[in-house]
Chain A
Amino acid sequence: MQRWTSKPLPFARDPQAPIVSAALELIGVEQRTPSFSAHLYLNNTRVRESAGVEAKGYAGSFAFFGHGEDCWGDEGHCRIPEAVSPFDQRVESSSQPANVTVDISEALKQTAERGEVRVTILAWAAGASNKALEPLRFKELMLVTYS
Chain B
Amino acid sequence: MTVVARVQPRAVRATLKHRKSADKLSAAEVERLRDAIKAALKLRDNRGYQFYAGWHGVPFDYCWHHHPLFLPWHRAYLYFFELSLQQIDAEVTLPWWDWSALDDVPKPFRAGALASAPIRPFTDVRRPGWPKRTFREAGQDSRVPPLPYRSLYERALAAPSYTTFNERITQAHDWVHVWVGGTMSDPAWAAYDPLFWAHHCMVDRAWRIWQHNHPGALPPALYLDQTLRPRSITVRDVLDVKQLGYDYAQSAVAVPGTG
Contacts and interface: CB of A to CB of B under 8 A. Distances in A.
Interface of A: 29, 31, 34-37, 39, 52, 61-68, 70, 72-73, 91, 94, 96, 98-101, 124, 126-128
A39 B175 CA distance: 13
Given A35-B185, A65-B185, A98 B67 contact: yes
Contacts, number: 83
Given A63-B144, A63-B174, A126-B181, A34 B186 contact: yes
B79 to A, nearest CB: 19
A5 B154 CA distance: 31
A94 B186 contact: no
Nearest to B121: A72
Contacts of B167: 101
B103 interface: no
B186 to A, nearest CB: 6
Nearest to B190: A65
Contacts of B171: 62-63, 100
A63 B99 CA distance: 15
A65 B186 CA distance: 7
B65 interface: yes
List the 8 closest pairs (A to B, CB-CB), nearest first: A98-B66, A63-B174, A63-B175, A126-B185, A63-B178, A65-B174, A35-B185, A65-B177
Contacts of A35: 174, 177-178, 185-186
A73 B226 CA distance: 26
Given A94-B64, A101-B167, A68 B174 contact: no
25 contacts: A37-B144, A37-B178, A62-B171, A62-B174, A63-B175, A63-B178, A64-B174, A65-B178, A65-B187, A67-B65, A67-B187, A67-B188, A68-B187, A72-B58, A72-B59, A91-B226, A91-B229, A94-B64, A96-B67, A98-B66, A99-B66, A124-B143, A126-B178, A127-B186, A128-B137
Contact of B143 (A31, A39, A72, A96): A39
A91 B62 CA distance: 11
B1 interface: no
A61 B257 CA distance: 53
Contact of B67 (A61, A94, A100, A101): A94
B141 A65 contact: no
Contacts of B221: none
Contacts of B229: 91
A99 B77 CA distance: 24
B173 interface: yes
A126 B65 contact: no
Nearest to A61: B145
B78 interface: no
B113 interface: no
B178 A36 contact: yes
Contact of A73 (B125, B130, B174): B125
Given A68-B187, A72-B127, A94 B143 contact: no
